[in-house]
Amino acid sequence: MPAIRAAAWPSPLDNVFTQTSDDQVDTETAINELFSRLRPSRFDFAKDASAQSGKDDAMVNPWLSSAEQEQQRAQASSGLATKPSLLLERQAHVAFLTKLLEPLPGAYTAFDTNRSWLLYWILHSFDLLSVALDPKGRARAIATLLSFQNKSTGGFGGGPDQISHLMATYAAVSALAIIGGPGPAPTAEDVADGKSVEVGRGGWDAIDRHKMRSWIASLKQPDGSFLVHANGEVDVRAGYCVVCITTLLGISSPGLFEGMAAFIASCQTFEGGIAAASQPTYMLKSGLDGATPSGIALASVDGARPALGEAHGGYTYCAAASHLALSLLTSTLAAASAPAGLATAPEAEAGTLQPAAALDQEALIRWATAQQGTPFEGGGFRGRTNKLVDGCYGWFSGGGLFTVLSAMVEAKLIEEASNAGASDGHASRTHDWNGMLTVPSAPVVHAAPADAASSGAGSWKTESSVDAEGADESEDDVDDLSPLTLFDRVALQEYILVAAQRPAKEGGGLRDKPGKRPDAYHTCYNLAGLSLAQHSVRLSPETAKALHKTVGAGVADEWNAKVYATMLAWTLVQRDEIVVGPNVKSGEAPQNKLNPTHPIFNITFPRAKTMMDWAYASAV
């Protein structure tokens, strides 16, 4: 239930006081202090019950003493407490992020291994907000990102001359998808002149995909997991990076993905969420069934693989998104997108990808739904059971994860309908945009370039919204707009706008929670969570078919045709949009609306499709 129109009761402590409970009280107090200024009077717990006598809707908070109620009542009547706004402070956030592109203070030397991430967080935030760098900044960003690539491996480090790392490579490739384009790297003269994509030097051709594919393959372990770097640790997020990097760049193969889904399923904990890794049990043997990096021949022992650590929102999102991508490649969706007659890729000749090992979806959904905070916590999301809410989990545990979970459920229904020979219910849809579909009754979606040199990879705009009459969706009528969904989309948007957003007068940016400083990381993932809390993005078999007929027909082999079509097989259902916040004016889209982001890649759809068009048209 949205926090603004809710009976917001604090968490009972049962007279057990710990550091954790103290932090919970502090967090709830800070969040509720903001939301209490927006709630209707009937939900104001600070008001004395005697003052509400005769009113049936009077409510009293039993955990507040009379003195505490009086204190809150005095603060509310003093006029010093400014009423928070549900308006997304777009310009303030852009200004905040722009400052991070300038020379940073000395304290940021600790982020030297995260420079590719800093650029990804900033550029993706800009893209969600329909903002583009100026030509000189764009050329400089492309050249900077390419300087992180290692010539020996093809992978990227977090900065120049650093070891290749899967996480840094994911960030660099994603950032290049947003800012770059076909062609070689811009020269020093190009950077000085502010030239790059518009003159055919967008930098994508400078990515050494041959070496990168070999490097990634060298990180794979016998159980289907991946090391994050040479001689590094196993982490379920590494597999997610592999899925995103290789499918964006057209360098995936069945052999590379083999065993990944089974490893992911083995990381699911008793709670239902997913941990960082699981413990494989091996024994020495004389055969050569598998080999460790040290060359010792091992054989896997059948049986349970205990998950290492507790279920966590970040690991769960990465694992679930990877598992969804893998399962789609062996589904009806893939079969429908790859007609006969295409050649088989060399990597596919050694074997085909087996159906993905099943996750316990009921347990996963049950754990995920429990991570959304109560109204007294603002409806934000936490990353682990009994932990504090945090704005970044609006993506990892919220909009991103639940869009993936919804797609898992929908994929199963599509599969069952296909097996039963029934219609999937989407036959009336027609192909509209550069790879996405709309429902006929909904407004048409079209691409609108964010800048003149965007090579067609523009931001998304709509001709109308669910709030076509210009009513304020922050009022009570927003409850009537809520679709059937696995999480409270309105509550998440309210948390991000009220609790996670630093006001413009304080410098903008988005943060973990009230009292915390904003940063690029939290700004990016708050905005990404807000994006998929606003937009309903769903799987579409028709999109997969249409993509193959239009662009996918140029893909050289069956495997890549499947990958191309399934990773882009999504539709934007505009009739299910919910955008909390005031409108600019009647008949215009709400000012708070962001561009929809891809639920697996977490870059906007036009950026993903433009890079994949380039990658799959040029064989590696």
Give residue-wise pLDDT tens across range 396-429.
999 999 999 999 999 988 888 877 765 444 433 3
Any residues with CB less than 8 A from the CB of 105 and at least 6 apart, and which? none
> Does residue 267 contact residue 261 with C-beta atoms inside 8 Å?
no
Burial label, 3 (beta-carbon count in 10 A; 0-12, 13-18, 19+):
buried
394 pLDDT more than 80: yes
| Distance, CA of 385 to CA of 501 (rounded, Å) | 24
Residue 356's pLDDT is: 65
pLDDT confidence bin for 73, thresholds 50/70/90: low
Asked if residues 297 and 288 have their Cβ atoms less than 8 Å apart, the reply is yes
> What is the reported pTM?
0.83
Per-residue pLDDT of 113-161, as tens digits, reads 999 999 999 999 999 999 999 999 999 999 999 999 999 999 999 999 9
R_g of the chain, CA atoms, integer Å: 25
Residue 537 banded pLDDT, cuts 50, 70, 90: very high
pLDDT score of 510: 98
The pLDDT tens digits of the residues spanning 309-359 come to: 899 999 999 999 999 999 999 988 877 655 555 555 444 444 467 776 789
At 83 the pLDDT is 79
- What gap in Å lies between CA 438 and CA 443, rounded to an integer? 8
The percentage of the chain sitting over the pLDDT mark of 70, rounded to a whole number, equals 73
pLDDT at res. 558: 85
Q: Phi, psi (5° rounding) for residue 403?
A: -65, -40
Q: Which two tokens stand for residue 469?
A: 């009459």
| Predicted pLDDT of residue 484 | 46
Summarised one tens digit per residue, pLDDT across range 446-463 is 233 334 333 333 332 322
Q: How far apart are CA 388 and CA 23, in angstroms?
A: 8
Here the tokens at position 43 are 């939900």
Given pLDDT bands bounded at 50, 70 and 90, which one contains residue 471? very low
Provide the 3-class DSSP secondary structure of residue 462: strand
Mean pLDDT of 510-539: 97
> Which helix (DSSP H) or strand (DSSP E) does residue 120 occupy?
helix 115-128
The β-bridge partners of 291 are 297
- What number of other Cβ atoms are within 10 A of residue 554's Cβ? 12
* Residue 47: per-residue pLDDT: 46
pLDDT of residue 48: 39
What is the per-residue pLDDT for 12? 81
User: Confidence band (pLDDT; 50, 70, 90) for 374?
Assistant: very high
Interval 570-588: pLDDT, tens: 999 988 999 998 865 555 6
DSSP string, 267-322: TB-TTSSB-SEE---EEE-SS-SEE-TT--EEEEPPS---EES---HHHHHHHHHH
Whether pLDDT at 254 is above 60:
yes
Amino acid at 187: T
Task: Give the pLDDT of residue 460.
Answer: 28
Quick one: average pLDDT of 56-74?
A: 57
Mean pLDDT, residues 85-99 taken together: 95
For all residues of the chain together, what is the average pLDDT? 80
Residue 21: its H or E element:
helix 19-35
Res 585: pLDDT? 57
In this structure, are residues 248 and 288 in contact, taking their beta carbons and an 8 Å threshold? Answer: no
Of 153, 210, 208, nearest to 176 by C-alpha is 208
pLDDT at 429: 38
DSSP assignment string, 333-387: HHHHHS-TTPBPPGGGGG--PPPPPPP-HHHHHHHHHTTBPPGGGTT-BBSSTT-
* Strand 459-462, strand 445-448: pairing: antiparallel
Instruction: Write the burial class of residue 25 (CB in 10 Å: 0-12 exposed, 13-18 middle, 19+ buried).
Output: middle
Please tell me the predicted confidence (pLDDT) of residue 219: 97
pLDDT grade, residue 243 (50/70/90)?
very high
Long-range CB pairs of 215-219, under 8 A, 24+ apart, other chains included: 215/153, 215/154, 215/155, 215/164, 216/155, 216/166, 216/242, 216/245, 216/246, 216/251, 216/256, 217/256, 219/166
Nearest CA among 571, 544, 560, 565 for reference residue 615? 560
pLDDT of residue 583: 65
pLDDT tens by residue, 483-493: 347 899 999 99
Q: What tokens were used for 173? A: 């490739």
Q: How confident is the model at residue 476 (pLDDT cuts 50, 70, 90)?
A: very low
3-state secondary structure of 590: strand
d(CA 592, CA 519): 20
CA distance linking residue 198 with residue 200, whole number of Å: 6
> pLDDT at position 419, please?
77
What is the pLDDT confidence band of residue 70, given thresholds at 50, 70 and 90? low
In the 8-state DSSP scheme, what is residue 483? P
